[in-house]
Amino acid sequence: MNVKLRVRRTDPETGRGGYSRYEIDAPESTTLLDALIQVREYEDGTLALRCSCRSAICGSCAMRVDGRARLACRAKVIALTRGNEDHEITVEPMGNMPVIKDLVTDMETFWAKIRQVDPYIQPATPPPPDEEYRVPNEAMLDLTHTMNCIMCGACVSDCTVLEVDKNFIAPAALAKAYRVVGDPRDGQQYERLKKLSEYSGIWDCTRCNMCVEVCPKGVAPMNRILQLREMAIEEGITNNAGARHTNIFTKSIVDGGRLNEVWMVPGSVGMFNIARMSQELPGALRMLRAGKLPIAQAVPPGVPGSHKIEGMERVRALVRKSGSLKPRKPQVVGS
């Protein structure tokens, strides 16, 4: 089939570049990586790209394809074009990291973030005498997602928070953090969760699902971030805006069935956080003026007179019973 490529180029000397266009003839089974290698071998030897295993194991060939991060070796050209040979595939280097040349990015910030979460298990106690640690199957099954991570950087490339805040620990490292925190052998869970709950950590994720979408290995980093949030709250690490936001939100639904938007801000930032509350005041007044501040929600959730949907007693019964749905936590088997 005829394959049209539009490839972003960057000159390492000047940092400048543009797009190069290539048109090649390739069999229908061609992957994007095959196509790019064909271009480099036969059309343009100056094209730089990074690759190794060609089978989605090494994680070297992540790049942006038609606007989203993918492993080039895992993307069939025929699927990218939906069979339309006129479709020109746009290939760019990963986002959120500096470009060295063409499709090759500098992964240093990626690795720095991984190191930042201290990604090694630190057991509290030594293993039983003459034995190894024994861990229940289900605990390890829960971690298989994160163990599948090949550190390709796709999730970091397309993370929408990292775009506006380079300090955000970002999906790959947070998923790696879950790999460790979720391991029953680790003895530093509380300390880790406390650190991860700080600014730039688990609560700064917008839950946009971009990392879930682009991850080629099913790690679903955002879902791991949600698990970390659940664990942090369970551990009582709630003195931060993120955990307070979750608490007031849940309280609002359990109390009235629907979200009480008026009390979300004071409930999250802290009622007596004068600096933050005063930041929000002009916005609240603008909403009031536009008739968008729901007066029916003036009473905070949990206080008599707060707004409730009809039949709330049935919702409350469901809330009480839903506790039985919680799975039991796997524990390390003692010697």
Q: Nearer to another protein by C-beta: 136 or 257?
A: 257
Continuous H helices in the chain: 32-38, 77-80, 108-116, 137-147, 154-158, 170-181, 189-196, 210-214, 221-234, 241-256, 264-269, 274-289, 312-321
In the list 22, 110, 178, 203, the residue contacting another protein (rule: CB under 8 A) is 203
Q: Nearer to another protein by C-beta: 109 or 160?
A: 160
Q: Nearer to another protein by C-beta: 17 or 266?
A: 266
Task: Indicate whether 94 belongs to the interface with another protein (CB under 8 A).
Answer: no
Task: Indicate whether 90 belongs to the interface with another protein (CB under 8 A).
Answer: no
DSSP lists the bridge partners of residue 186 as 123
Task: Indicate whether 29 belongs to the interface with another protein (CB under 8 A).
Answer: no
Could you give the CA distance from residue 146 to residue 92 in angstroms, rounded to a whole number?
26
Q: Measure the CA angle with vertex 214, ends 23 and 229; round to 5°.
A: 165
Task: Indicate whether 297 belongs to the interface with another protein (CB under 8 A).
Answer: yes
Residue 316's identity, in one-letter code, is R
Q: Which residues of 179-200 are buried (b: 16+ CB within 10 A; e: fewer)?
A: bbbbbbbbebbeebbbbbbeeb
In the list 226, 235, 299, 330, the residue contacting another protein (rule: CB under 8 A) is 226
Task: Indicate whether 134 belongs to the interface with another protein (CB under 8 A).
Answer: no
Q: Nearer to another protein by C-beta: 153 or 242?
A: 242
In the list 15, 45, 129, 282, the residue contacting another protein (rule: CB under 8 A) is 282
Task: Indicate whether 65 belongs to the interface with another protein (CB under 8 A).
Answer: no
Could you give the CA distance from residue 156 to residue 154 in angstroms, rounded to a whole number?
5
Residue with tokens 């479709």: 87
Q: How many residues bind another protein (CB under 8 A)?
A: 66
Cβ 320 to another protein, closest distance in Å?
A: 9
